[in-house]
Amino acid sequence: MKKIKYKSNIFWILVLIGITVLSIAAMLLTRQASGTVAKIYLYGELIKTVNLATVTEPYSMIIEADSGRSNTVLVEKGRIRVTQADCRDGICVQQGWIYGGLMPIVCLPHGLAIQIDGGAYANIDAAVG
Amino acid sequence: MKKADGTRFEIKCRIKNLKNRRVRGSHKAVTALFVCIFMIISGIGTAGCGGGQSGDIMSETRLLFDTYCTITIGQPIYSSKLDASNLISNLLEEAFELCEKYEALFGMTVTGSDVWKINHAKGEPVEVSRETVELIEHGLRFGELSGGMFDITVGRLSSLWDFGNNFNEHGGQTVPPQELLKKAQLTVNYSQLTTNAEKSTVQLENPESWIDLGGIAKGYIADKIAEHLRQNGVTNALINLGGDIMLLGKRPDGSPWRTAIRKPYGSENEYVGVLEIADASIVSSGTYERQFTEDGITYHHILDPYTGMPSTSDVISATVIAENALIGESLSTIAVLTGSEKIEIIFEQTAGFIGAVLVTDGGEVLIYGNAELIT
């Protein structure tokens, strides 16, 4: 009887060790992901979230504004940019890649904004200039 | 936060049930140890997922004044952790309402705004809000201080250039015709603008002249938001109106707010350095903010009232630390207009100036006053 009880305790200890290890793994994965998540907003509304940490192959997507005009967004591991836009000033294309959470890409004529949460400059509260 | 807290609570309950049903005898202590480790790890994990919002700090971004505005507010004093969230949410809403209120007063193109009324009064005095008079009087003071380089009667010129909006049939921006520029330039003269604080009136003596408060309005609004938050017990806040930053106190963890200065014409993650500041404003002006290129020449939005053309000084980026954002915004624009030499005396003569970081067209980084740049 005692032997069975002992085995049962060992089993539950192993289960708890397993849960602990899984918790640590989940925590680390969550932290990594939260540092490199790009959020795409159209007219202030979140329309897409891209986990840049898990991108293996670069890919493009077209974001269409209400006016029928569009921006082409290129996604690579850890970074994102606008590659083509039929807006009038093209500032969003000129801005190039963004990696961190400070300066969002903004295409005012199309109401598009791309912001990365956290990233390399997560300990900075704001940027000027 | 709520979601994260909910998950943690659920895990806690499951462990408790396992413990009650299965675990017995001398290994109870060992099991309890693992339970503790697990609970601690779950706690750390959920705290890490908190992002920009936790029990005592909240942040919100909205598109206003053609730019993104972010306001971050820490827990007000005299509030408990329980009611802090509601209180901060209300304060965020009130802060953005102030932005809208002042945009409706100061917007040059907003029909019926105080500025619109002044510009369409055909030389007659106009009754406007107390805040409009206050802001115009500040603009006039800086006109004097800068020897006319900073002139709020630049409205005809700025609307002629109309950076970011004035497009030709090919979808590009274009330089206005010289004859129109010359005509507009003749209407720029801040000495023809008078205010009467008692009657709360403003008069543009030249009926053709227009005022444009775009160069100082955001700073004034950031200060007004800071004042409102302070009156409501907020001691930690970051008000960022598209790069016009007003900092209240320090970060909620007691460390100073960290603001990066972007490298002019650099990519998003290229910085000149970082400023660690508490209880002050940080405002930048730069030639790279709004610009276009025509026939190989780049034209930016900081206009020299004496030439009617974009400024050609050696300063391409000016970041000013000041007691309030209104002073910071005025001085940063004046620095781009006057250049790195003439601005030194203006900095020295201005009450409320703390320090500045200027970047010249040669790539030099110049430090003025009490500015410690971490590179």
CATH number of the domain residue B176 falls in: 1.10.3980.10
- B23: pLDDT confidence band, cut at 50, 70 and 90? very low
Flag whether residue A61 sits within 8 Å of chain B, measured between CB atoms: no
Are B292 and B341 within one domain? yes
pLDDT value for B164: 59
Interface contact B268-A124, CB threshold 8 A: no
In a domain? residue B179: yes
Let me know whether B336 and B240 are in one domain: no
| Closest to A69 measured CA to CA, from A86, A82, A46, A51 | A86
What pLDDT is attached to residue A117? Answer: 75
Task: Grade residue A53 by pLDDT with cuts at 50, 70 and 90.
Answer: confident
Q: Given this model, what pLDDT does residue A43 score?
A: 87
In a shared domain, residues B34 and B49: no
B284: nearest CA in chain A? Answer: A129
| Chain A contact probe: residue of B268, B279, B332 with most A CBs at under 10 A | B268
- Residue B9 within a domain: no
Identify which of A111, A112, A107, A115 has the alpha carbon closest to the alpha carbon of residue A80. A115
For range B322-329, the mean pLDDT: 97
Q: What is d(CA B175, CA A31) in angstroms, rounded to the nearest whole number?
A: 49
Write the CB contacts of B111 (distance below 8 Å, at least 6 apart in sequence).
Answer: none
Q: Are residues B98 and B125 in the same domain?
A: no
B303 and B310 Cβ atoms separated by less than 8 Å: yes
What total of structural domains would you count in chain B? 3
**B269 to A102: CB separation less than 8 angstroms, yes or no:** yes
Residue whose pair of structure tokens reads 């990233």 in the numeric block: A119
Residue B271 tokens, joined: 């910085």
How far is the alpha carbon of B70 from chain A, nearest alpha carbon, in Å? 9
Please say whether the dihedral angle defined by the alpha carbons of residues B129, B130, B134 and B140, taken in this order, is positive or negative.
Answer: positive
User: CATH number, domain at B31?
Assistant: 3.10.520.10
* Average pLDDT, integer, range B43-53: 35
Give residue A28's pLDDT band: very low, low, confident or very high (50, 70, 90).
low
Report whether B374 contacts B323 (CB < 8 A).
Answer: no
- Could you list the beta-strand ranges (E) of chain A: 37-42, 45-51, 59-64, 70-76, 79-85, 105-107, 112-117, 126-128
Task: Please tell me the predicted confidence (pLDDT) of residue B208.
Answer: 94
Same domain, B102 and B120: no
Q: Do A19 and B38 touch (CB under 8 A)?
A: yes
Is B174 inside a domain boundary?
Answer: yes
Mean pLDDT (chain B) is 83
Helices (H) and strands (E) in chain B, counts: 10, 16
pLDDT on residue B329: 96
In Å, how far are A10, A112, B67, B90, B238 from A44, measured between CA atoms? 54, 8, 12, 20, 20
The residue of chain A nearest to residue B27, with distances taken between CA atoms, is A9
Residue A48's pLDDT band (boundaries 50, 70, 90)? very high
- Note whether B230 and B261 are same-domain residues: no
Nearest to B256 by CA among B274, B230, B276: B276
Q: How far apart are CA B375 and CA B370, in angstroms?
A: 16
- Domain presence at residue B241: yes
pLDDT confidence band for B43 (50 / 70 / 90):
very low
Question: Hey, are the CB atoms on A129 and B38 less than 8 Å from each other?
Answer: no
> Tens of pLDDT along A77-123?
888 999 999 988 888 888 888 876 567 888 888 989 998 876 545 57
Read off the pLDDT of residues B222-278 as tens digits, 9 standing for 90 and up: 999 999 999 999 999 999 998 899 999 998 888 899 999 988 887 666 788 899 999
B38 CA: distance to closest CA in chain A (Å): 5
The per-residue DSSP string of B157-174 comes to: HHHHH-TTT-B-TTSSB-
pLDDT, tens digit, 9 for 90 and up, residues B295-324? 788 888 898 998 888 999 999 999 999 999
B265 and B228, same structural domain?
Answer: no
Which residues contact residue B114 at a Cβ distance below 8 angstroms, ignoring those fewer than 6 apart?
B105, B106, B126, B128, B129, B132, B202
- Residues B120, B228, single domain; the answer is no
Q: How many whole angstroms separate alpha carbon B201 and alpha carbon B203?
A: 7
Instruction: Give me the pLDDT at residue B169, please.
Output: 54
Alpha carbon B112 to chain centroid, angstroms: 25
Residues B260 and B126 in one domain: no
- Residues in chain A, how many? 129
Residues B226 and B100 in one domain: yes
Domain match, B51 and B98 both: yes
B190 burial (CB, 10 Å; 0-12 / 13-18 / 19+) is buried
**pLDDT value for A4:** 61
User: Do A103 and B262 make contact, defined as CB atoms within 8 angstroms?
Assistant: yes
Percent with pLDDT over 70 in chain B: 81
According to the model, what pLDDT value does residue B86 have? Answer: 86
Helix boundaries (H) for chain B: 2-22, 28-48, 81-106, 114-119, 130-145, 155-161, 178-185, 217-231, 325-338, 342-349
**pLDDT tens digits along B112-131:** 999 999 999 999 999 999 99
pLDDT value at residue B42? 40
Q: Are residues B360 and B311 in the same domain?
A: yes
Mean pLDDT of A61-72: 90
Contact assessment for residue A125 and residue B259, using Cβ atoms and an 8 Å cutoff: yes
Q: Best interface-test mutation with A: which of B68, B269, B290, B294 has the largest number of A CBs within 10 A?
A: B269
Report helix angle A2-35 to B28-48, nearest 10.
Answer: 10
Read off the pLDDT of each residue in B343-349 and give the average, rounded to a whole number: 96
What is the pLDDT confidence band of residue B176, given thresholds at 50, 70 and 90?
confident
Residue found under tokens 């781009």: B336
Chain A hits for B240, CB-CB cut-off 8 Å, are 126
Residue B213 lies in a domain: no
**Nearest Cα to Cα of residue B69 among B225, B177, B196, B176:** B225
Which tokens sit at B292?
Answer: 């276009």
User: What's the pLDDT at B34?
Assistant: 47
Residue B13 belongs to some domain of the structure: no
Residue A91's H or E segment, with its range, is helix A91-94
Residue B8 in any domain: the answer is no
Chain B residue with the nearest C-alpha to that of A87: B171
Contact B38 A13 (CB under 8 A): no
Cβ contact, residue pair A129, B272, below 8 Å: yes
Query: Percent of chain A at pLDDT above 70?
Result: 82
- Give pLDDT, residue B63: 84
Residue B198 pLDDT = 95
pLDDT at A91: 84
- What is the mean predicted confidence (pLDDT) over A33-54? 82
Average pLDDT, chain A: 81
Higher pLDDT pick, B198 / B52: B198
Structural domain boundaries enclosing B194: 114-204
pLDDT at residue A118 in the model: 61
Single residue among B248, B266, B301 that ends a domain in this structure: B248
Contact residues on chain B for A44, CB-CB shorter than 8 A: 62-63
Report if residue B214 sits inside a domain: no
Sequence-distant (6+) residues with CB within 8 A of A115 are: A38, A39, A41, A101, A104, B61
